[in-house]
């Protein structure tokens, strides 16, 4: 699989270089005094966001990341060179966690954003710093600080404007393939999609927004069923959630509420996001059946009837999504607790 969204790495920053204890000795200056330079700083381990990456695949076999040590100070008050930093390029949406405690340390969400994962050790002071009127010949210098070493978890949470939420085989991948240039795997069986797929949805006047096809979740996903925890993680970063339930469902309202409940059990904050319900595969319904279906849909969420194959309702869908994406924060929908 080319999509990797979770890895463990061991990072080690560089240790600082030793200060120099050199004493100046020249032909006409046999007792020139201390002139030892400072040691160089150890290299840092840095995370940097890269919008051209969409997976952690390039780090799959990088288990150990080691920064360079600082160089020792030299004579003539010359400081040692700082150790080279190691920069780890990661896709946007990457979260760095302490592997031992699980604590979230950093969140990379912007291109070019840099955070120091581990700081290199400071270089030791040369003996020139310990010279005084009463102690004129210090023959010692500071050692450099040791570097840091720790295991980290890097988790990727897909960043997108709209996230598709639904049971397996609800038509999510088909919709993405129709309204974007993405080419996800599509087949008539459950769990066709095993990794998130991203696509750019063109809109009016040359505008666009990003849509993410999240692998299908099942009842009990928040407990880890069906790899649910891996899939649910990617929903956290989407601005708007598009719930998708097929028209041939035995109970569309029930299925919708099961999906909402899975999100609530995983993270109650997900219920604060704007949402829209799309009833898919409506090409199998005539006008009368569609009208009857509208009356049976949940009343607490806006809905749209679509068919990706027959291109039914797609313009209306994009209009509704665009309106939700650009609605002021103070006008965001408030969903009643019972809907979850």
Within 10 Å of residue 16's Cβ, how many Cβ atoms? 29
Q: Where in the chain is the domain with CATH 3.40.50.300?
A: 160-339
Mean pLDDT (the chain) is: 83
Tokens representing 79 are 């400081």
1-156: CATH topology: Spo0b-associated Gtp-binding Protein; Chain: A, (2.70.210)
Within 10 Å of residue 325's Cβ, how many Cβ atoms? 15
- Parallel, antiparallel, or unpaired: how do β-strands 114-118 and 45-49 relate? antiparallel
Q: 113-117, 132-136, 194-198, 299-303: which has the minimum mean pLDDT?
A: 194-198
CATH of domain 160-339: 3.40.50.300
* Interatomic CA distance for residues 175 and 151, integer angstroms: 40
Indicate the pLDDT class of residue 187, thresholds 50, 70 and 90: very low
Nearest to residue 157, comparing CAs of 238, 274, 50? 238
Counting beta carbons within 10 angstroms of the beta carbon of residue 170, is it exposed (0 to 12), middle (13 to 18) or buried (19 or more)? buried
Q: What average pLDDT does this structure show over 103-109?
A: 91
Phi–psi pair at 108, nearest 5 degrees: -95, 115
Tokens representing 107 are 């969140």
pLDDT greater at residue 130 or residue 228? 130
Q: Where in the chain is the domain with CATH 2.70.210.12?
A: 1-156
Q: What average pLDDT does this structure show over 309-327?
A: 90
* pLDDT greater than 50 at residue 186: no
Indicate the pLDDT class of residue 195, thresholds 50, 70 and 90: low
* Interatomic CA distance for residues 181 and 198, integer angstroms: 9
Cβ contacts of residue 124 below 8 Å, gap of 6+? 16, 17, 18, 19, 38, 39, 73, 141, 142, 143, 144, 145
* Interatomic CA distance for residues 214 and 36, integer angstroms: 60
Tokens representing 110 are 């912007």
pLDDT value of residue 171 = 82
pLDDT tens, position by position, 285-296: 888 888 888 888
pLDDT value of residue 61 = 85
Contact call for residues 301 and 255 (beta carbons, < 8 A):
no
Q: What is the pTM of this model?
A: 0.65
* Interatomic CA distance for residues 200 and 22, integer angstroms: 63
Q: What average pLDDT does this structure show over 238-266?
A: 88
Nearest to residue 89, comparing CAs of 122, 120, 113? 113
pLDDT tens, position by position, 25-38: 887 777 778 999 99
Counting beta carbons within 10 angstroms of the beta carbon of residue 84, is it exposed (0 to 12), middle (13 to 18) or buried (19 or more)? middle
Q: Up-side HSE of residue 228: CA atoms within 13 Å toward CB?
A: 18
* pLDDT greater than 60 at residue 228: no
pLDDT value of residue 198 = 77
């Amino acid at each position: 699989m080319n999509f990797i969204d979770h890895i463990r790495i061991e990072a080690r920053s560089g240790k600082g270089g030793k200060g120099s204890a050199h004493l100046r000795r020249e032909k006409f200056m046999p007792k020139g005094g201390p002139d030892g330079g400072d040691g160089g700083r150890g290299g840092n381990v840095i995370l940097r966001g890269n919008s051209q990456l969409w997976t952690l695949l390039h780090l799959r076999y990088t288990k150990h990341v080691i920064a360079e040590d600082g160089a020792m100070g030299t004579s003539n008050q010359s400081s040692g060179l700082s150790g080279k930093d190691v920069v780890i390029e990661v896709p946007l949406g990457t979260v760095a966690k302490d592997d031992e405690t699980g604590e979230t340390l950093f969140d990379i969400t912007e291109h070019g954003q840099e955070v120091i994962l581990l700081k290199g050790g400071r270089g030791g002071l040369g003996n020139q710093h310990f010279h005084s009127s009463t102690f004129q010949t210090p023959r010692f210098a500071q050692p450099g600080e040791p570097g840091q070493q720790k295991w980290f978890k890097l988790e990727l949470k897909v960043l997108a404007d709209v996230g598709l939420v639904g049971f397996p085989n609800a038509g999510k991948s088909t919709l993405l393939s129709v309204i974007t240039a993405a080419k996800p795997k599509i087949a008539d069986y459950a769990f066709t999609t095993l990794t998130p797929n991203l696509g750019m949805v063109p809109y009016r006047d040359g505008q666009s927004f990003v849509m993410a096809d999240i692998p299908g979740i099942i009842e009990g996903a928040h407990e880890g069923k069906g790899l649910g925890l891996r899939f649910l993680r990617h929903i956290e970063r989407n601005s708007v959630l598009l719930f998708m339930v097929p028209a041939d469902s035995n109970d569309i309202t029930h299925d919708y509420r099961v999906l909402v409940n899975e999100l609530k059990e995983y993270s109650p904050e997900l219920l604060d996001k704007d949402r829209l319900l799309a009833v898919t595969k409506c090409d199998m319904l005539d006008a009368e059946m569609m009208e009857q279906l509208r009356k049976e849909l949940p009343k607490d969420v806006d809905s749209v009837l679509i068919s990706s194959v027959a291109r039914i309702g797609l313009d209306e869908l994009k209009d509704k999504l665009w309106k939700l994406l650009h609605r002021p924060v103070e006008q965001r929908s408030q969903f009643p607790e019972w809907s979850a």
